[in-house]
Structure 1
Amino acid sequence: MKRHRKVIALLRDAEHEHRCAVPGDRALYHALRRRVGSREVVSPYPNLFADIAYWDSLNAEDRSLHMIRALARIHPKWTFAGLSAACVYGYHHAYSLHDGSVSIASPKGSGRNDADRLHRIYMRSVPRWQCRGIQVTSPARTLIDCAGMPFDQALSIFDSALRAGHVTAADVATLMVQTNCDEPAIRKLLRHVNPLRENGGESWAYARIVGLGYAEPMMQVEFDNPNSPDMPYRVDFCWKLADGRIIVAEYDGMAKYADAGNQKRASLQAKLDYERRREQDLAAQRVSAVVHFFFEDVADVTRLDDKLAEAGVPKIR
């Protein structure tokens, strides 16, 4: 299709600002729609556009943020809520939660003219905050609205918000009793929330572990490092049992090793040597088993269950 200087400039300016492009007049709108038809441009939301190659390079969270930033320009009075607010705050979460929709707080229900991908979350009184120049619900309200997600997905958002220092468990509990919400889900999340977990993967793994009925592990426990006393070993999960055994579990600690032909074999071998030495040092401190599990293990609870059971992690139910 013929090059259109104004369309190219509009798309490039939007990319520079990490948002979707918004046409300023009908001529640009129709020029962009024609390019949607020829698959040069994508329109993820009404009146929002992006170069298709650029859009394909973005992950699900970045796509949501591109739409949110553009919509905040068009609708400066909107207050983004739920997963959309969590994205703006930068809270860790699974990309699989994104379905192409945008959530806003609203004192009324869905309107007849609302876009299909607009999700309104009813709030009689909207607690408004500013984050990165975008109006969002308060951290506490954002967590309450995310509590309706599956426990193993919502926990990473709760952990991340507390880890960032944006909110406390007490703040959420106080707002919970003032709000029409899923109190059992929120109480469960507040019972398990822990800012010591360092990323969304650890939060997800922890939720799966307790969901299988295993005893709750301690988090980020430190052990002596005789080779570097000022840099102790820190493990993701740890169980100290009544019989004196200590079991350690690491989420994605060493990842999948490359094959022997990998050009980075020397550095991989150094990592393997370090991990072997580390496990020897942990064993000298009464660690009886070290479990390594990866994304695939956590995704398949049967595999995760087998690994934990083989290591001797106790179940409480």
Structure 2
Amino acid sequence: MLRTAEQERRCALGDGGALSHALRRRVRALEVVSPYPNLFAGVEYWDSLNAEERSLHMIRALMILHPRWTFAGLSAACVYGYQHAYALHDGSVNIASAKGSNRKDARQLRRIYMHDIPRWQCRGIRVTSPARTLIDCAGMPFANALAVYDSALRSGHVTVGDVETLMVRVNCDEPAVKRLLRHADARRENGGESWVYAHIIGLGYAEPLLQVEFDNPGNPEMPYRVDFCWRLADGRIIVVEYDGMAKYADASLPGRASLQAKLDYERRRERDLKAQGVTAIVHLFFEDVKDPTRLDDKLSEAGVPRLR
């Protein structure tokens, strides 16, 4: 049963009888985990999953147990495949509900109240509509929610207008939703860029240009594209790259020759950018963005303009 569930990318279901009893005994023996009542998975298999995959395994199993449930919030965002920070997962599952919480609910179950539930189907799972999902995700920290909004816009599932139309018809945190819609942009290519952008503007810096292209003399058909760029009135051009050369830093790895080629490419890229007028290139790593003081120091030192 456990193997079958793994093949179907979900948790196994207890039967409420002898099988459930046997599974719970294995949980006590630390051979099996039970992330939600009556849901089970082998420890080794569960440990191989990331936080999003674990949530999806629970959702797929609960869909079988409760076919009338409509998943919402972060759970719906997972089903749609919207990028988000794994740190948002706390083992809970979100569903839409026209009623309040039930004292019989599992502690991992969170109901999001909706008078009218806009039901969609995605990957065979009932979820709230993309617009409603984004409205519910507005309760996340801004930097985390912006990644979800950007990803949803990139997917083509939803438009800013769709969210604006629904926002005036439902009870929601309008200031948070409006702020997210004002800054959401499908041109940011991944959740990391969204996260960095949110922290930059959160510190009061001017909004950067996105995905600006520069000539690549070595390969004109493949221009250089930078994550963030500021073109200042005095002629300065400031470029900020997220994660820059971090993934190439360990030259002790077996693929050292390949890593060296990547380092050489980065140096050539920086030289070409500066030849086209770029006056400062800032490489940001995760630790820089996570620490507001470090981020502020790097942006200020590079001369990124501040609005406040």
Scaled to the shorter chain, the TM-score interval is: over 0.9
Using the TM superposition, give the Cα deviation of residue 36 of structure 1 relative to its aligned residue in structure 2, in angstroms: 0.6
Matched residues in 2 for 1:312 and 1:35: separation?
A: 59
Q: Which residue of 97, 115, 129 corresponds with 1:124? A: 115
The code of the aligned residue for 2:256 comes to R
The code of the aligned residue for 1:68 comes to I
**Paired residue for 1:186?**
177
State TM-score, norm by structure 2: 0.98
**Paired residue for 1:101?**
92
**Paired residue for 2:244?**
253
* Pair 1:133-2:132 in alignment: no
Matched residues in 2 for 1:89 and 1:233: separation?
A: 31
Using the TM superposition, give the Cα deviation of residue 116 of structure 1 relative to its aligned residue in structure 2, in angstroms: 0.8
**Which ranges in structure 2 are unaligned for 5 or more consecutive residues?**
none
**Paired residue for 2:282?**
291
* Pair 1:231-2:245 in alignment: no
Using the TM superposition, give the Cα deviation of residue 304 of structure 1 relative to its aligned residue in structure 2, in angstroms: 1.1
* Pair 1:69-2:35 in alignment: no
Using the TM superposition, give the Cα deviation of residue 261 of structure 1 relative to its aligned residue in structure 2, in angstroms: 3.5
Q: Which residue of 299, 310, 317 corresponds with 2:301? A: 310
**Paired residue for 1:210?**
201
Moved more, 24-33 or 100-109: 24-33
The code of the aligned residue for 2:260 comes to Q
State TM-score, norm by structure 1: 0.95
List per-residue Cα deviations over 1:178-198 (Å, max 9, x = no partner).
010000000000010000000
Moved more, 302-311 or 37-46: 302-311
**Paired residue for 2:267?**
276
List per-residue Cα deviations over 1:1-27 (Å, max 9, x = no partner).
xxxxxxxxx100001111000023511
* Pair 1:86-2:77 in alignment: yes
Matched residues in 2 for 1:127 and 1:256: separation?
A: 42
Q: Which residue of 219, 222, 234 corresponds with 1:243? A: 234
* Pair 1:160-2:160 in alignment: no
List per-residue Cα deviations over 1:49-97 (Å, max 9, x = no partner).
0001111111111110000000001111100000000000010100110
Matched residues in 2 for 1:145 and 1:14: separation?
A: 30
**Paired residue for 1:58?**
49
Change (3 A) 1:99 1:261: closer
The code of the aligned residue for 2:120 comes to W
Report the count of equivalent residues: 308
**SS of corresponding position for 2:299:** helix
The code of the aligned residue for 2:65 comes to I
List per-residue Cα deviations over 1:134-160 (Å, max 9, x = no partner).
000000000000001110110000000
Matched residues in 2 for 1:148 and 1:257: separation?
A: 36
Matched residues in 2 for 1:308 and 1:264: separation?
A: 33
Using the TM superposition, give the Cα deviation of residue 258 of structure 1 relative to its aligned residue in structure 2, in angstroms: 4.1
List per-residue Cα deviations over 1:294-314 (Å, max 9, x = no partner).
111111111111111111101
The code of the aligned residue for 1:208 comes to H
**SS of corresponding position for 1:287:** coil
**Which ranges in structure 1 are unaligned for 5 or more consecutive residues?**
1-9
**Paired residue for 1:3?**
none
Matched residues in 1 for 2:247 and 2:110: separation?
A: 39
CA RMSD of aligned residues (A): 1.0
* Pair 1:31-2:31 in alignment: no
**SS of corresponding position for 2:145:** helix
Matched residues in 2 for 1:186 and 1:205: separation?
A: 19
2:137–2:145 CA contact under 8 A, matched in 1: yes
Using the TM superposition, give the Cα deviation of residue 264 of structure 1 relative to its aligned residue in structure 2, in angstroms: 1.9
* Pair 1:15-2:9 in alignment: no
List per-residue Cα deviations over 1:191-244 (Å, max 9, x = no partner).
100000000000000000000111000111100111111100000000010111
The code of the aligned residue for 2:242 comes to Y
**SS of corresponding position for 2:35:** strand
Using the TM superposition, give the Cα deviation of residue 112 of structure 1 relative to its aligned residue in structure 2, in angstroms: 1.8
Change (3 A) 1:270 1:69: same
Using the TM superposition, give the Cα deviation of residue 256 of structure 1 relative to its aligned residue in structure 2, in angstroms: 4.6
